[in-house]
Chain A
Amino acid sequence: MLNYLNAKAQDYTIILSWAEQELRNLRQSRPEHIWLIDRLQEKIIESRFLHQQLRIIARIGIQRLYPRALPIIHDIELSLIHLTYYYLPALQRERKEDLYLRKILLQTANRCGLYWIKDIAVRLDNQEAIISVITECPVIFAPPQRSVSLLDIAGLYHELGHNVFQMFPDIVESLANVISDHFTNLRQGVGLMDPSKRAERERDIDEAQIYWNADRLNEFFSDIYATYICGPAFYYSSVDMAIKLISDPFIINPIDVHPPLAARVYACRKAINTGHQDEPLVIASQTIWNNYIRTFPRNARFSFICADSLLDRLVEASIQCIAELLNSVMPFGEPLPSANDLLQIPSGVTLESILNRAGKILLLMPDRYADWEKEALKSL
Chain B
Amino acid sequence: MSTLGSISVRLGREQQLLRQLNSALIALEAEALGKSSDFGLSADEISKSRQILLDFIIRLRSALDKEPSSMDIQPLIHRLRSGMKPLEDWCNDLDALVKYLQSGNNLQDQDNVLPTLDEILSLLDSEFTEDIKRLYTR
**CB within 8 Å: A-B pair count:** 130
**A130 near B: Cβ within 8 Å?**
yes
**B15 near A: Cβ within 8 Å?**
yes
- Which of under 10, 10 to 19, 20 to 34, or 35 or more describes the interface residues of A? 35 or more
Pairwise interchain contact B19-A162, C-beta atoms closer than 8 A: no
Given contacts A62-B35, A162-B6, are A78 and B26 in contact (CB under 8 A)? Answer: no
B-chain residues with CB within 8 Å of residue A258 when the two chains form the complex: 1, 3
Q: In the complex, A126→B3 CA distance in Å?
A: 13
Pairwise interchain contact A257-B3, C-beta atoms closer than 8 A: yes
Q: In the complex, A184→B68 CA distance in Å?
A: 10
Q: Which of A60, A81, A162 is B38 in contact with, Cβ under 8 Å?
A: A60
Pairwise interchain contact A62-B125, C-beta atoms closer than 8 A: no
Pairwise interchain contact B2-A127, C-beta atoms closer than 8 A: yes
Pairwise interchain contact B121-A210, C-beta atoms closer than 8 A: no
Interface size on B, residues (CB 8 A): 43
Q: Which of B38, B118, B122, B129 is A56 in contact with, Cβ under 8 Å?
A: B38
**A273 near B: Cβ within 8 Å?**
no
Pairwise interchain contact B5-A75, C-beta atoms closer than 8 A: no
Given contacts A60-B38, A131-B5, are A71 and B19 in contact (CB under 8 A)? Answer: yes
B-chain residues with CB within 8 Å of residue A34 when the two chains form the complex: none
**A241 near B: Cβ within 8 Å?**
yes
Pairwise interchain contact A176-B68, C-beta atoms closer than 8 A: yes
Q: How far is the CB of A90 from chain B (nearest CB, A)?
A: 13
Residue picked from B2, B5, B22, B118, most chain A C-beta under 10 Å = B5
Which listed segment binds A: B51-59, B70-78, B83-91, B94-102?
B70-78
Pairwise interchain contact A218-B132, C-beta atoms closer than 8 A: no
Q: How far is the CB of A167 from chain B (nearest CB, A)?
A: 10
B-chain residues with CB within 8 Å of residue A126 when the two chains form the complex: 2
Pairwise interchain contact B7-A172, C-beta atoms closer than 8 A: no
**A284 near B: Cβ within 8 Å?**
no
Pairwise interchain contact B74-A133, C-beta atoms closer than 8 A: no
Given contacts A60-B35, A67-B122, A210-B78, are A72 and B22 in contact (CB under 8 A)? Answer: yes
A-chain residues with CB within 8 Å of residue B5 when the two chains form the complex: 129-132, 158-159, 162, 218-219, 222
Q: In the complex, A215→B14 CA distance in Å?
A: 13
- Residues in A17-62 with C-beta less than 8 Å from chain B: 50, 53, 56-57, 59-60, 62
**A77 near B: Cβ within 8 Å?**
yes
- Residues in A104-130 with C-beta less than 8 Å from chain B: 126-130
Pairwise interchain contact A180-B68, C-beta atoms closer than 8 A: yes
Pairwise interchain contact B10-A215, C-beta atoms closer than 8 A: yes
B-chain residues with CB within 8 Å of residue A72 when the two chains form the complex: 22
- Residues in B112-130 with C-beta less than 8 Å from chain A: 118, 121-122, 124-125, 128-129
Residue picked from B22, B35, B72, B75, most chain A C-beta under 10 Å = B22
Pairwise interchain contact B9-A165, C-beta atoms closer than 8 A: yes
**B60 near A: Cβ within 8 Å?**
no
By secondary structure, the B interface counts as helix
Given contacts A62-B33, A67-B121, A180-B67, are A74 and B128 in contact (CB under 8 A)? Answer: yes
Q: How far is the CB of A115 from chain B (nearest CB, A)?
A: 19
- Residues in A57-97 with C-beta less than 8 Å from chain B: 57, 59-60, 62, 64-65, 67-68, 70-72, 74-75, 77-79, 81, 85
Q: What residue in chain A is nearest B117 (Cβ atoms)? A: A67
Pairwise interchain contact B125-A70, C-beta atoms closer than 8 A: yes
Q: How far is the CB of B10 from chain A (nearest CB, A)?
A: 6
**B42 near A: Cβ within 8 Å?**
no
**A141 near B: Cβ within 8 Å?**
yes
Pairwise interchain contact A214-B19, C-beta atoms closer than 8 A: no
Q: How far is the CB of A240 from chain B (nearest CB, A)?
A: 13
Q: How far is the CB of B134 from chain A (nearest CB, A)?
A: 9
Residue picked from B2, B7, B26, B136, most chain A C-beta under 10 Å = B2
Q: List chain A positions with a Cβ less than 8 A from chain B.
A: 50, 53, 56-57, 59-60, 62, 64-65, 67-68, 70-72, 74-75, 77-79, 81, 85, 126-133, 141, 158-159, 162, 165-166, 169, 172-173, 176-177, 180, 184, 210, 213-219, 222, 241, 245, 256-258
The 5 closest A-B pairs by CB, nearest first: A129-B2, A162-B5, A218-B6, A180-B68, A129-B4
Can you list 29 A-B pairs, Cβ within 8 angstroms, ordered by A?
Answer: A60-B33, A60-B35, A60-B38, A62-B35, A64-B29, A64-B33, A68-B25, A68-B121, A71-B18, A71-B121, A71-B128, A74-B128, A75-B19, A75-B22, A79-B15, A127-B2, A129-B4, A130-B4, A131-B5, A132-B5, A132-B9, A141-B2, A141-B4, A173-B70, A180-B68, A213-B74, A214-B71, A215-B9, A218-B5
Q: List chain B positions with a Cβ less than 8 A from chain A.
A: 1-13, 15, 18-19, 22-23, 25-26, 29-30, 33, 35, 38-39, 67-68, 70-72, 74-75, 78, 118, 121-122, 124-125, 128-129, 132, 136
